[in-house]
Amino acid sequence: MAKKSILITGGAGFIGSHLAERLIQSGEKVIVVDNLVTGNIENIRPLLNHPNFTFLEHNVSEHIEIEDELDWVMHFASPASPIDFKKLAIPILKVGSLGTHNALGLAKEKKAKFFLASTSEVYGDPLIHPQPESYWGNVNPIGPRGVYDESKRFAEAITMAYHREHAIDVRIIRIFNTYGPRMRADDGRVVCNFINQALENKDITIYGDGMQSRSFQYVDDLVKGIIKLMSVTHNEPVNLGNPYEFTMLELAEKVIALTKSKSKIIFLELPEDDPKRRKPDISKAQALLGWEPIVQLEEGLVRTIEFFSHEAARPALKEVTL
Ligand code: UDP
- Reduce the DSSP state of residue 107 to 3 states and report it: helix
Strands of 29-34's sheet in order across: 53-57, 29-34, 5-9, 72-75, 113-119, 170-175, 237-240
Judged against a pLDDT cut of 60, whether residue 318 lies above it is answered with no
Integer Cα distance of 175 and 120 in angstroms: 6
Judged against a pLDDT cut of 60, whether residue 189 lies above it is answered with yes
Name the residue of 186, 214, 250 to mutate for ligand 1: max ligand atoms within 8 A of Cβ.
214
Residue owning the nearest CA to atom 6 of ligand 1 = 190
pTM across the whole model: 0.94
Residues assigned a catalytic role: 148
CB 171 within 8 A of CB 234: yes
CB-side exposure of 85: number of CA atoms within 13 Å?
Answer: 24
Q: What band does 187 get if pLDDT is binned at 50, 70 and 90?
A: confident
CB 198 within 8 A of CB 261: yes
Integer Cα distance of 22 and 16 in angstroms: 10
DSSP string, 91-117: HHHHIIIIIHHHHHHHHHHHT-EEEEE
> Which atom number of ligand 1 is nearest to the Cα of residue 193?
8
Integer Cα distance of 256 and 140 in angstroms: 34
Name the residue of 190, 206, 279 to mutate for ligand 1: max ligand atoms within 8 A of Cβ.
190
Average the pLDDT over 229-233 and give the result: 98
What confidence tens digit (pLDDT) does each residue in 154-173 have?
Answer: 999 999 999 999 999 999 99
- Reduce the DSSP state of residue 31 to 3 states and report it: strand
Give the sign of the dihedral formed by CA 195, CA 276, CA 207, CA 147.
positive
What confidence tens digit (pLDDT) does each residue in 31-67 have?
Answer: 999 999 999 999 999 999 999 999 999 999 999 999 9
Ligand 1 geometric centre to CA of 189 (Å): 6
